[in-house]
Chains A and B, each alone.
Chain A
Amino acid sequence: MDDTDLAGPLLFCLLFGVFLAFAGKVHFGYIYGVAVLGVMSLFLILNLMSEGGVDGYRIASVLGYCLLPMVVLSGLSIIFGLAGYIGFILSLFSILWCTYASSGMFVTVLGMSEQRFLVAYPVGLFYACFALMTVF
């Protein structure tokens, strides 16, 4: 988390949108809106709860890179539809994977080891929005 690289996250968001478009859902506006709102609210939460502060670019960078499992999920949704139990399980698994990775990074760098679940809950909601976009 030392460098605030935004190229990767932007590429992942674009890829996510393109895969969704291939699957028949054009949600670029929703992706942008959810991403901005999520970064803003996570900025608030992390700055309120951690000892030191963190700036918005780092948060965007971590959240964007950890979006990768969600991109894979949207890629899978092109090949076979995600309705039904298997889609539900896959999306749940992707949300958990994204949340585990990003909350781990936030907690390690900000030294909030006892508050991992408290950080993971909002981050999980953020990724759940993306999963909802993919499935419905």
Chain B
Amino acid sequence: MTTTPSPLISPTTSSSPKPLRPRQGVEALAKSLASPNQPPHRAIQNDAVGTRAIWSLEYYTKFFDVDTQQVVDRCIKSLYPIDNFSEVLGGNPDLYGPFWISKTVIFVLFVTSSMAGSLAAKMGGKTYSYDYGLLSYAVFVIYLYGFGTPLLVWAATKYYGCQPSLLEVIDIYGYGLTVWIPVSILCVIPSDIVRWVFVTGGSGVSVYFLIKNMLAILSRADAKTSRFILIALGVAHAVLSLLLKVKFYSYSIKEETGKGDGQ
């Protein structure tokens, strides 16, 4: 239970002591008796914590205040986007999810792509060498999409007066990347049509999740702007899906030439 500090009993921060009215004094006494463990000035200090310096670690602790069940819940809700994601976030957007999901997606992309490549090379009877350039490419693309795009979207919507919350936009994009983990694992299957099916399916789920949740923010702008931004979001997502498909999921058995890798 929280106690609000009475203006009287604030020894260090109030500039001039206010005269004590009888009722105020009784209230102050009652409050200080009710929570004997918390000295009155602590509440004021706790209020001041909200304005911690942006370069101290404590400022960022409020972005990591999630537990396992919440993170898992948010990931599953992004794969099955029926609920409104703002309700799922519950006013507590976190940075843990986007950060670790993007790292995992990069890792899974690289590993499954290498596996598919070596599988294709084995079935074609050729040797395969790991292409670490793919890893750098994955890092660049996923971090750009997972953190750069939300920043751009947030700036644009802020300019048009939608009052977005940066953390919520980062969360929508970050958790929206979850779908690429199962898609990557399934795309090891060495059939191009199957891969196209999986990529299209995953991309569809992800773009539905994205647009459904961005609509809530975008509806606060006027209709023409919000439609334009929505189309831009959709195009960006389509570009990402095509890039991932072409660069990572395109291994096929080539018998004619010695190329067993890449497009």
Q: Do A and B come from one complex?
A: yes
- B67 pairs with A114, CB closer than 8 A: yes
Which B residues touch A114, using CB under 8 A? 67-69
A121 at the interface (CB under 8 A from B): yes
Contact with B along A104-136 (1 / 0, CB 8 A): 000000000011111001100000000000000
Q: Does A48 contact B (CB under 8 A)?
A: yes
B residues less than 8 Å from A49 (CB atoms): 61, 64-65, 96
- Least CB distance from A97 to B in Å reads 20
The answer to whether A48 and B68 have CB atoms under 8 Å apart is: no
Contact with A along B101-124 (1 / 0, CB 8 A): 000000000000000000000000
A47 contacts partner chain B, Cβ-Cβ < 8 Å: yes
The reply to whether A118 and B61 contact each other, CB–CB distance below 8 Å, is no
CB atoms of A118 and B60 under 8 A apart: no
In angstroms, Cα B57 to Cα A4, docked, is 22
Identify whether the interface residues of A are mostly helix, strand, loop, or mixed. Answer: helix
Bound-state Cα–Cα, A30 to B9, Å? 58
Interface centre among A47, A48, A117 (most CB of B within 10 A): A48
Judge whether B71 is part of the interface by a CB distance below 8 angstroms: yes
Instruction: Report yes or no: A118 in contact with B69, Cβ–Cβ below 8 A.
Output: no
Q: Complex: how many Å from CA A87 to CA B210?
A: 42
| A48:B64 contact, CB within 8 angstroms | yes
User: Least Cβ distance of B132 to chain A in Å?
Assistant: 14
Q: Is B76 an interface residue (CB 8 A)?
A: no
Q: Restricting to B6-63, which residues have a CB under 8 Å from any CB of A? A: 57, 60-61, 63
- Judging by beta carbons under 8 Å apart, are B68 and A117 in contact? yes
- Chain B's closest residue to A51 (CB) is B61
| B236 adjacent to chain A (CB < 8 Å) | no
- As a 0/1 sequence over residues 61 to 101 of chain B, the CB contacts with chain A under 8 angstroms (1 = contact) are 10111111101100000000000000000000000100010
Min CB gap A4→B, angstroms: 20
> Could you say which of A47, A118, A121 has the most chain B C-beta atoms within 10 Å of its C-beta?
A118
Q: Interface code A21-63, partner B: CB below 8 Å = 1, 0 otherwise?
A: 0000000000000000000000010011100000000000000
A114→B73 CA distance, assembly (Å):
13
Bound-state Cα–Cα, A128 to B187, Å: 24
* Known contacts A49-B64, A49-B96; A118 and B71 CB within 8 A of each other: yes
Name the residue of chain A whose CB is nearest to the CB of B61. Answer: A48
CB neighbours of B66 from chain A (8 A): 115, 118
B118 CB, min distance to chain A CBs, angstroms: 14
**A70-114 CB contacts (< 8 Å) to partner B:** 114
CB pair A116–B68 under 8 Å, yes or no, is yes
B68 near A115 with CB under 8 A, answer yes
Measured between C-beta atoms, what is the minimum distance from B178 to chain A in Å?
A: 14
5 more A-B residue pairs beyond the given contacts A47-B57, A118-B68, with a C-beta to C-beta distance below 8 A: A48-B60, A48-B64, A114-B69, A115-B67, A121-B100
Using a CB–CB distance below 8 Å, which chain A residues touch chain B? 44, 47-49, 114-118, 121-122
Contact surface of B with A, Cβ cutoff 8 Å: 57, 60-61, 63-69, 71-72, 96, 100
> Could you show 22 A-B contacts with beta carbons less than 8 Å apart?
A44-B57, A47-B57, A47-B61, A48-B57, A48-B60, A48-B61, A48-B64, A49-B61, A49-B64, A49-B65, A114-B67, A114-B68, A114-B69, A115-B66, A115-B68, A116-B68, A117-B68, A118-B66, A118-B68, A118-B71, A121-B100, A122-B100
